[in-house]
Amino acid sequence: MDEAAAKIAWLPLRAGIGPIARHLGYPTENARLRIIRYVKARRIRMRYRTDEGLLVYATGHGEIDWSDESIELCLDNLIETDLLPAPGRPERLEERARQPADRAIAYLITGYLVEWGDWTPEMIRERERGEIKLGEVICNGLSAWGQRSLQAPLEQIPCNDFRSEMVAMKALPVDPLRLPKVVVRVDRKVGVSPPHRLPDYMGSPWCLIEVDWAGLKPLGARAESEPAPPAEQLPAERRPLIEAEQLYAEGGSEPAARAEESRLELVPAVESNAASPKPKQPAPTKKTKNRTGRRGPKPGAVKRYAPDDRALFPEILRLMSEEQLSLTAATQRLAENERVVGEGTPTSRARRLARLYKAECLRARRPHH
């Protein structure tokens, strides 16, 4: 190892996640997604040790166990990407006077200003509700700004552009009791709920929408407090970060605490079952010839991740339409960005998502002959 590489300061992920979350104003899980996203974009260097003790420098792609306690991140890269404050700088990011629409929607859902790329699957499932709510508060007087096109100047958006009457009643809505609503989408564009009524919108095609933070602040959901991860000693030249970590010195990380609780609950149950007498088993019945093959549901019939996968359908459509990606490339990108839940490799999760999208969206659009 050369002298320059030896001088690089490394921060253990388990020690840095707390200060990073505090600096961003994020929950721990959203901060973890930001770190993973930046590592995969090669903006942050990462290394970890194998079971044999070998030190491996990785880019975040491929099979990485992000719960591995040996993972370390380059401290200088964390400061360069504004995930940690530089020495002498404030611990928290400076609040903006205006917040982009995706962060505002996250704030209405969770009470945290989270960028769209750092949303968890649980937040994505609440996306439509947050988009509708932001449109409603702008209609009710929250100041908002946007551009009528990408080349147009930024200007304040009239509240009347978010009234339901701005959607022409060319056809009856699906539910007569629920009129179409003008919403703000997470891509910072004006939209309509339900989406298929967007062509009936009579207002300007606002984009790059942002809202007044002072007016939005009292409207957010109450943020739930979460236990902070344990602190670890940082390099001596990073004294401000040591003080930030001390704020997280009590308690363990939330995932670790939950895993410990589950282990404490499961062990007594196993022991009690072992000590209890075995019930009498009924006499075996004679097998019939027709009863062959494996028991249980047919493989693939139980789609336990289908609700989470369906929540990603709008993002797949956006990637295919705006970035001209194929279905396979779009689902692969979402899987590599840890947006697709479930077990297995990113490729297997991407294939599962693509199969469901093809079955429920693409085939449903094909005309019947």
For 192, the enclosing helix (H) or strand (E) is strand 190-193
Tokens for 345, please give them.
């490799």
pLDDT of residue 140: 93
Nearest to 112 by CA among 36, 192, 31, 172: 31
What's the average model confidence in pLDDT over 256-273?
A: 39
Tens-digit pLDDT profile for residues 306-342: 888 888 988 888 888 888 888 899 889 988 888 888 8
pLDDT of residue 230: 46
Q: Tell whether the model's pLDDT for residue 173 goes beyond 90.
A: no
Q: Residue 205, SS3?
A: coil
What's the average model confidence in pLDDT over 66-77?
A: 90
Tens-digit pLDDT profile for residues 150-169: 999 999 999 999 998 899 87
Q: Are 210 and 145 in contact (CB under 8 A)?
A: yes
Confidence of residue 2 (pLDDT cuts 50, 70, 90): low
Q: Residue 349, SS3?
A: helix
Q: What secondary structure does DSSP assign to 209-274, as a single string?
A: EEEEHHHHGGGSPPPPP-PPPPP-PPPTT-HHHHHHHHTT-SS--HHHHHHHHHHHHHHHHHHHHH
What's the average model confidence in pLDDT over 241-261?
A: 41
What's the average model confidence in pLDDT over 135-139?
A: 94
pLDDT of residue 280: 52
What's the average model confidence in pLDDT over 40-66?
A: 83
CA distances from 195 to 128, 167, 182, 201, 365 (A): 10, 11, 10, 10, 16
Nearest to 68 by CA among 39, 89, 25, 43: 39
pLDDT of residue 152: 93
Tokens for 224, please give them.
């739930």
Q: Are 345 and 63 in contact (CB under 8 A)?
A: yes
pLDDT of residue 232: 45
Q: How many CB atoms lie within 10 A of CB 231?
A: 19
pLDDT of residue 234: 44
Q: How many CB atoms lie within 10 A of CB 148?
A: 15
Alpha carbon distance 358, 288 (integer Å): 40
What's the average model confidence in pLDDT over 222-251?
A: 47
pLDDT of residue 228: 45
Could you tell me where the DSSP H helices lie in 140-177? none
What's the average model confidence in pLDDT over 110-128?
A: 93
